[in-house]
Structure 1
Amino acid sequence: MARLDHRPGRRSRHPRTASMLAFSLAVGLAVAAAPGLALAGSGNGAIVTAAHRVNPPDGTGTDPAGEPGDETPTPDPTDTGPLPTSPPPTVPETSPPPPVTTVPAPTTTAPPPAPVTTAPTTAAPTTAPPPPPPAPPAAPRPDGPAASPVGVQVTTGDVALSPAYWNARSTVTSLRVTVTNTGRVAEEIRLAYTLPAGVTDAGTKGCAATGGGEYRCGAWTSGPGARFSTTLRVRVSGQAWRQMPLSGSVRVSASAAGGGTVSDNEGFAVLFPPGPPVPGIKLQADEVAFDISGAASNLAVRLGNTGAVDAAGAVEVVLPAGVTVPTPPAGCVMVDPTRTRCDLGSVPAGRTAEVRLPVNATPEAQRDAPLAGAVVGKLDPRSGRARQVQMSFRITAAAALATPPPSEPAPTGSTGVLAAGAAAGDGGGMSSVQRTAVIVVVVSTVLVVLALTLATTSLRRRMTDPGE
């Protein structure tokens, strides 16, 4: 009778090897499919998030609530129809445009030659060699971007109110805007502006409201170097002073065939006179100006006691966003990042107390200048009623007057899509999502190779096994 070869140990290893093989293959295939899913999920999330950022919910431009007892502020008109096709009337400007505020290169002059003290000689004078010809202008780099032929600049005045404002329910005044075609070609120029709470348009021709304090106007056709101005008529509510400081902005965009689109913007301040008028108190605040370096500036505030008795004086300074008092002087405390309160002590009758505060501004705030700040002055005598008055002051910055070099506009798209595209094209680097995808692909490839190696080894063992 033949003897059967029974090898339970070798036969019991085969099912485990097959199970491990199947498990390794399943893991490798699942990990290999993961990068595509991860990329798809991250891309959709970025676009959805960008869509929410680009399209915020309505209601962001509503006026803030005033103090108790204030009359309801005049609501901003909403869009009632298509945008106008004709621009506002303009006046040509003959005066030269304001100079560009940049740091000029230092010029050095050679000192005068020292007088010759030796006796002249009778030899023929030698002729000095002619100076070398000036070097030709450097040619533009072939790999650099070509300068855009389109350019535009806008400058604004301020909405300055006279003391008659305190006797009227509302005041109609004007805002002067000057536009310059700084490009080399004819351009189509459009204007838009934003008015703060309590300020509305008073019927500017060629402009219409788009909601949330925004207004847009028709387009001008302007030749290269042309400079013109237009006047925006605005209405300031009689209760707008309760919400000071108030600032707005004006924006222009210029486009030309084959030249792309460029834009420029500048802010403006709504300046209220000291008031409401109260006898026995006087308040003054100087303008704050930042130079081209952007270094800290100073704000001087003077509170005068024009009454008949001494009074305790105090001032409170309210600054716009991005402007702060980094180190309050003695007697002053920071109530919040935009509000500083100073105790001036006793102010004798007929005297004036002064306080100077250092002021800083972020680069963004300086680019948005002119801006407006507010000062509240208080006098509290030992006997009699306390007196209070407030006013606004102007904040300017030389950085806002510097004209940036024109640049081609970025493609229109959501923030998330543009960010991903910029990261992918930045010097050939990879974004974090791309790096993660590469790592996952490498790991999945290693796992697949390992699974195939195990499968090959198992098959070779089975083929070389003489009992199989």
Structure 2
Amino acid sequence: MSLLGTSLTLGLLAALALGPAWAGAATPQADPVVATTDPVNEPGGEPGSSPTEDPPPTEEPGGSPEPSTPAPETTAPLPESPPPAPETTAPEVPPAPSVTAPAPGGPPTPAPPVQPAPPAPPVRPPAPGSEAPPPNPLGVQVTTQDVTLPTAYWNAASTATTLQVTVNNTGTTAQRIRLSYTLPVGLTDAGTKGCAAAGGGTYHCGAWTAAAGVRFSAVLRLRVDGTAWRQMPLAGVVQVVADAPGVPGEAVDDQGFAVLFPPGPPAPGITLAADEVAFDISGTASTLTLRLGNTGTVDAAGRVEVVLPGGVTVPAPPPGCVTVDPTRTRCDAGTVAAGRAAEVRLPVEATPQAQREAPLSGAVIGQLDPRSGATRQMQMSFRITAAAALATPVVSPPAPTGSQGVLAGGAAAGQDGTTSVRRTAILLIVVSALLVVLALALATIALRRRFAGGPTPEPTAHPTD
């Protein structure tokens, strides 16, 4: 019994001595417990943070980022300052509201809403006078044919002929179009209705009202005097003026016409021919080809003399040719045998103004001086044309414009009649077709190899670590 009592006494003393220690072990620690599994439904801050540090805004150590609401703590106190609201970089689509860390036991508090972006300012109209002016509704174009005389001209005191004129309303409104023309020396009007002489070989005709895009023709009746050939080369001009009610300014266009005489006066033992001179769209020099024939029975010394209109010249006379004056060039054709013909080629160039006035006419005088017999002479006129004269007029208000103009040389036609733009388009089409054929061939080869090689083996799955 004494032993049992002693043991109970010692156990009681030991329990009294160890009581405070056990009581301290049962009290919770001051440091928080890090949540390593799913967060609990208690408010708090970030797990893994100390009571004196702010939690990271979007990521906890060892975990994945949480861009919206951080994981709460278990026993951590409220942070000293709530984390700032996230900055908004796209005002058009505001982000989802974030939740700040509330006090323990309280509901989450949403962040203040993002202010919408201010509306865009309205588009102000341009200042007065800054807008481009509207296009001019006026526009007119005139084209002419030539006055070509028959061989019967040499056997008549005068010859009645006609000149056809075509007028086109190239504007966008109805216009009143007035026509006038100027005739060279030796030509007079033969009673064209509605036209009256205005002096200096000029005639004024009535006016026509034409709707936009309308084209019409007029025939001028002319008379050519029997001695007019002595003044060759001869050329005239036709002019049209268009206006419209309520539209300022006028549209003006003009084009020349040539008076072409047949070879003559007829003389035995001599023939003469001249080709037309044509300037292409580039306006470079052209060539005039002349042929002087000896149809007599004896040889003769040949000579030709070329008379050109103003603005058309021979820049560099070939050997055997000399410049008499700026419009005349004389060439020695040598001895022309009986029954043969001599050919003379001259380079010819024209100013841009002369090309705009085309068609024009030049004259050539041929002469044969046989060893025995009288000198034989004949002359004729030839036509001078230019591609620039066929250009469509460009109307700019309110100044008048002409229908002709030298265009850029890049669009010049080649010897086969195709332009550089057309040749480029053909080349692109051919290259595209070749590329399509090549692509089809490669696709066919790939398909054949695929079908010939059999089915494709399935990929083998490799075990992952």
Q: How does 1:251-330 map to 2 (within 5 A)?
A: 251-259=239-247, 260-330=249-319
Identify the match of residue 167 of structure 1 among 127, 130, 155. 155
Q: Distance in 1 between matches of 2:393 and 2:177?
A: 18
| Residue 203 (structure 1) aligned with residue 195 (structure 2) | no
Q: Distance in 1 between matches of 2:201 and 2:313?
A: 26
Would the aligned equivalents of 2:250 and 2:399 in 1 still touch at CA under 8 Å? no
Q: Deviation at 1:404? A: 2.6
Which residue pairs with 1:176 in the alignment? 164
Would the aligned equivalents of 2:251 and 2:399 in 1 still touch at CA under 8 Å? no
Which residue pairs with 2:375 in the alignment? 386
Q: Distance in 1 between matches of 2:309 and 2:148?
A: 18
Q: Distance in 2 between matches of 1:372 and 1:398?
A: 15
| Structure 2: gaps spanning 5 or more residues | 1-128, 401-465
* AA matched with 2:361: A
Which residue pairs with 1:342 in the alignment? 331
Q: Deviation at 1:410? A: 4.1
User: CA distance change for structure 1 residues 142 and 340 in 2, over 3 Å: closer, same or farther?
Assistant: same
Which residue pairs with 2:343 in the alignment? 354
Which residue pairs with 1:366 in the alignment? 355
Q: Distance in 2 between matches of 1:151 and 1:181?
A: 6
Would the aligned equivalents of 2:233 and 2:362 in 1 still touch at CA under 8 Å? yes
Q: Distance in 1 between matches of 2:205 and 2:396?
A: 24
Q: Deviation at 1:144? A: 3.9
Q: Distance in 1 between matches of 2:393 and 2:169?
A: 14
| Structure 1: gaps spanning 5 or more residues | 1-140, 412-468
> 1:179-211 deviations in whole A, cap 9, x for unaligned?
011111111000000000010000000100000
Identify the match of residue 223 of structure 1 among 206, 211, 214. 211
Which residue pairs with 2:224 in the alignment? 236
> 1:155-177 deviations in whole A, cap 9, x for unaligned?
00001000000000000100000
Which residue pairs with 1:114 in the alignment? none
* AA matched with 2:362: G
Would the aligned equivalents of 2:238 and 2:254 in 1 still touch at CA under 8 Å? yes
Q: How does 1:135-146 map to 2 (within 5 A)?
A: 143-146=131-134
Give the TM-score normalised by the residue count of structure 1: 0.57
Q: Distance in 2 between matches of 1:252 and 1:230?
A: 12
Which residue pairs with 2:176 in the alignment? 188
Q: Deviation at 1:359? A: 0.5
> 1:358-414 deviations in whole A, cap 9, x for unaligned?
101011111111111000000000000010000000001111111231122349xxx
Q: Distance in 1 between matches of 2:230 and 2:335?
A: 27
Identify the match of residue 375 of structure 1 among 353, 356, 364. 364
User: CA distance change for structure 1 residues 311 and 188 in 2, over 3 Å: closer, same or farther?
Assistant: same
Give the TM-score normalised by the residue count of structure 2: 0.57
Which residue pairs with 1:115 in the alignment? none
User: CA distance change for structure 1 residues 152 and 387 in 2, over 3 Å: closer, same or farther?
Assistant: same
- Where relative contact order (Cα < 8 A, 6+ residues apart) is larger, the structure is 1
SS in 2 for 1:383: coil
> 1:24-56 deviations in whole A, cap 9, x for unaligned?
xxxxxxxxxxxxxxxxxxxxxxxxxxxxxxxxx
Bigger CA radius of gyration = 2
> 1:236-255 deviations in whole A, cap 9, x for unaligned?
00000000000000000111
Would the aligned equivalents of 2:141 and 2:393 in 1 still touch at CA under 8 Å? no
Matched residues, percent identical?
A: 72
* AA matched with 2:330: R
4+ residue segments displaced more than 6 Å: none
Q: Distance in 2 between matches of 1:373 and 1:221?
A: 36
Q: Distance in 2 between matches of 1:192 and 1:351?
A: 47
> 1:123-181 deviations in whole A, cap 9, x for unaligned?
xxxxxxxxxxxxxxxxxx95544321111110000010000000000001000000011
Q: Give the number of aligned pairs.
A: 271
Q: Distance in 2 between matches of 1:214 and 1:334?
A: 33
Q: Distance in 2 between matches of 1:248 and 1:408?
A: 27
Q: Distance in 1 between matches of 2:331 and 2:130?
A: 59
